[in-house]
A = this chain, B = another copy of it.
Amino acid sequence: MSSDSRPATPADADLTLDPQDWKAFRALAHRMVDDSLDHLASLRERPPWTPPPADVASAITGEPLPTAPQGAEQVYAEFLAHVLPYTAGNRHPRFWGWMKSNGTPIGMMADMLAAGMNVNAVGMDQSAKLVELQVIKWLAEAMGFPAGTSGIMASGGTMANVIGLAVGRNAKAGFDLRQHGLYGQPRLTVYGSTEIHSWVTKCLELMGMGRDSFRPVPVGDDFRVDVAAMRDMIVADRAAGLRPICVLGSAGTINTGAIDDLDALADLAAQEDLWFHVDGAIGSLGVLSPNLRPLFRGQSRADSLAFDLHKWGYLPYECACVLVRDAEAHRDTFATKAAYLRVEDRGVAAGGLVFAERGPELSRNFKALKAWMALKAEGTDRIAAILEQNVAQARRFGALVGTVPDVVLAATISLNVACWRIAPAGTTPEQQDMLTREVLLRLQETGVAVCSGTVVQGRAVIRVAVANHRSRWADFEQLLAALPAVIADARARTGI
């Protein structure tokens, strides 16, 4: 059909969002890569955290809806000036806050490659499905799970844990939950330590079960769950008409990195016919190291295991995984049918939507690519060596920080987290809490290091959580060396 035979409609314009000038866009893209790599290679020259100045903040948030095109060059200039410099800083060698990793250059480029492919990684007859299945197979093997283990990549620990818990609920509810919901049924209860991450209650709220369905079990002095107490609670709850469905274990708590006795929890779950889910967001990947592996004994007995590759796997956000031992139970929780999702044995949709049958989402980016590329490029031995380095750094730092005047270690170092607080002689607990928080903030504000705060046994502490492949021992020395002056400064500022 020649153009003169066509009516004049917008369709004739053949507009596109591809660059009008590919060569110019290519040059810009190369600058983006250079700038990003330069930034990563020179992180140590800057403080970990630089907050957005007021004029930058108002430039970002004061712009009217852009109706006219500004062009990629202009937008990138604004990105460089207003966005790139002002992050919370987890890329940085001296960032040890919460539990966030740096990301890696190969992870960064893998995300570019994935966005260029722009697959919907929901299944279908395409390479992305094969890569994700392979990554899950590798991770299952690394975690000691049997062949045939199911799994799916997820955005983060919360979603990975939600999926695991949802499968456990569906498997152990004892009624057709998917059809009828929780109505008219006894309360389904799950058991985990008081130190467990807040995803549990948030997840139970979303799942319609309510916080009441979480039964918090006390921990010992080592911050590990009291398994005998958990057993007693399960028995008592069942006698009271509740329906226990799930034992939750932590493979590294967020506060102190404590690892529950996963073997004992697996025994308990087996005895009581409960689902055993392990939240390994913080620590599970430690099993890659033969030296750390004994800490995780019993983890491979979990019915489901959630963990983050964007924490202690060093990859960029988002990259988590949940493994489910019983593939049928996994599928039974999420598989569904819709006319527009018809499975054919030929064509693009051949093989179906395998990942829509393993989680709630129908639109999924290709998170597995960065895991695939990173695992292959680095090899698990090298990653394991850096995990060991982080544990050694945390332990060595913990031993030394306790020797700094006015500092006391607040918890045994189980894994890669050191918690400590400021406790000068003659100060009250309240004064120590205030001083500890002030020291934490001054460390961040002065660019010494980003640690985070929490409360352990009722007392404010500073956490140094090491999931950082850029930290050298010299970085910890820098924090240790700066600490006396920062404490003195904080005492002067608070008058304590």
Contact = CB atoms under 8 A, between A and B. Distances in A.
B109 A111 contact: no
23 contacts: A17-B314, A17-B374, A17-B469, A30-B30, A32-B109, A66-B375, A66-B380, A68-B381, A69-B381, A83-B128, A86-B126, A88-B120, A103-B115, A107-B115, A111-B111, A155-B365, A176-B210, A198-B337, A207-B207, A339-B454, A340-B453, A347-B445, A348-B452
Q: Of residues A118, A121, A162, which shows the largest number of chain B Cβ atoms within 10 Å of its Cβ?
A: A118
Contacts of A370: 115
Nearest to A393: B11
Given A25-B37, A177-B210, A210-B177, A17 B104 contact: yes
Interface string A103-117: 111111111111111
A380 B67 contact: yes
Q: Of residues A36, A52, A85, A377, which shows the largest number of chain B Cβ atoms within 10 Å of its Cβ?
A: A377
Contacts of A75: 106, 373, 376-377
A18 B469 contact: yes
A430 interface: no
A340 B17 contact: no
Contact of A142 (B22, B29, B65, B197): B65
Contacts of A254: 340
A479 interface: no
A300 to B, nearest CB: 15
The 5 closest A-B pairs by CB, nearest first: A208-B208, A181-B210, A156-B363, A103-B118, A112-B112
A158 interface: yes
A363 B22 contact: no
A392 B7 CA distance: 11
Contacts of A63: 134, 376
Given A17-B102, A52-B130, A155-B155, 8 more contacts: A28-B109, A29-B109, A30-B33, A82-B127, A86-B126, A87-B127, A202-B360, A208-B208
A209 B209 CA distance: 10
A378 interface: yes
A89 B15 contact: no
A326 interface: no
Interface stretch (A90-98, A221-229, A267-275, A401-409): A90-98
A79 B11 contact: no
A56 interface: yes
Given A61-B137, A206-B360, A454-B340, A181 B182 contact: yes
A14 B112 CA distance: 28
Contacts of A56: 127
Interface string A334-350: 10111111101011111
Contact of A108 (B88, B116, B158, B337): B116
Contact of A470 (B16, B89, B103, B111): B16
Nearest to A197: B338
Contacts of A363: 155-158, 308, 310, 317-318, 320
A14 B392 CA distance: 11
B318 A365 contact: yes
A18 B105 contact: yes
A183 B184 CA distance: 7
A354 B442 CA distance: 23
Nearest to A475: B14
